[in-house]
Amino acid sequence: MIFKYTQLKIITSLSSKTNFFMRVVIQRVSTASVTVDHNIVSQINKGLLVFAGIENSDTTEDIVWISNKIVNLRIFNDENAIPNIALTEGGGDILLVSQFTLHAAIKKGNRPSYNRASKPENALPLFESLVVQLEKELGKKISTGVFGADMKVALLNDGPVTIWMDSKNRE
């Protein structure tokens, strides 16, 4: 009985110190594309290339928050070359690419660990939910990579503007 209580206390202590979250890297692009097996499967011009890393504890709340932030970020230049226009106002597109490596842990050694990244059977439904939410908020279809495929991503970063966000550290 004491062992179980101590074990539970240690597990609770460890989990309260671990921050798991959906991570995204957003890049403002002039053009971006995804190629799989030498075939371009998705391509956009002006807009946002979004890499999304999904973790097991991500929820619908995380998806809604991230999606809202992505489509409403005021990072496109206005007539005075000031980043003051959101994607919803600027008419750009989104290319969303799943990228589990955003959850790489490199604390020990030189080989990254991806233990925090959600397994495909859990990540795919959340990724698909993110696609649906982004389309709903943007009011049009978005482009995607191919989930789980070996993708070649090409982009022309505009600015460059690159923003990193996570759903549990809402700064």
Q: Within 10 Å of residue 2's Cβ, how many Cβ atoms?
A: 6
Task: Name, in order, each residue with C-beta under 8 angstroms of 46's C-beta and a sequence gap of 6 or more.
Answer: 29, 30, 31, 90, 91, 92, 93, 158
d(CA 89, CA 17): 39
Per DSSP, the three-state class of 122 is helix
Active site amino acids:
101
Q: Within 10 Å of residue 170's Cβ, how many Cβ atoms?
A: 10
Q: Within 10 Å of residue 113's Cβ, how many Cβ atoms?
A: 13
